[in-house]
A and B are shown apart, each in its own frame.
Chain A
């Protein structure tokens, strides 16, 4: 399985951009990168995903390096409500028709006033 490595914790000032890195050096060519977040005592929430190109939606942007060995999730204007654990996930191979995802430890993002 392609594994991901994320820093255990990060701080960000409110209103500033939060850049959360993820390393996935063993990613395969057909594996997507997904980002989820989990606010305390709630279920994980989908944020964004991508394969090769950079992606943007109303929540965040995802920047994937050309060699696909790492990616960065960008929250352009972090608010206190963005304080959460952020998970970077690479879709494991051989999981057709299951949607199985493997969650690691994630990065705890603390947005400070």
Chain B
């Protein structure tokens, strides 16, 4: 019954490494999102995409990039990981448009530690 799958639940990387976080959804949703969650700061939107090859910056895009080559897959890329990117990363998807039915479905999260 899993609908949004994040490839890794736990990752440990070193400063300066390139990190890929993968997210796949099987609900044929147009919209996909990457959030990060930190204690005391709640969920903050990094990037989102409302179509293949489309992307929009969220509230904290610095240090991140994204890729959406296929509708079901949305990747978050840390070009050069830093310790302040240690966080829980959450991927979500939703149907298109703006309506009351536009509900987010989240993945289980990827906890990244950068040493």
Contact = CB atoms under 8 A, between A and B. Distances in A.
- The interface centre, meaning the residue of A41, A103, A104 with most chain B CB atoms within 10 A of its CB, is A103
Given A99-B33, A99-B94, A99-B104, A43 B109 contact: yes
Interface residues of A, number: 25
A103 B103 contact: no
Contacts of A101: 104
A106 B39 CA distance: 12
B105 interface: yes
Contact of B50 (A34, A36, A98): A98
Interface string A36-63: 1000011111100111000000000000
A42 B42 CA distance: 14
Given A97-B97, A99-B102, A104-B42, A43 B50 contact: no
23 contacts: A32-B100, A34-B103, A36-B104, A43-B4, A43-B108, A44-B92, A95-B98, A96-B98, A97-B31, A97-B98, A99-B31, A99-B48, A99-B98, A99-B102, A99-B104, A100-B33, A100-B45, A100-B48, A100-B58, A103-B35, A105-B40, A105-B42, A106-B42
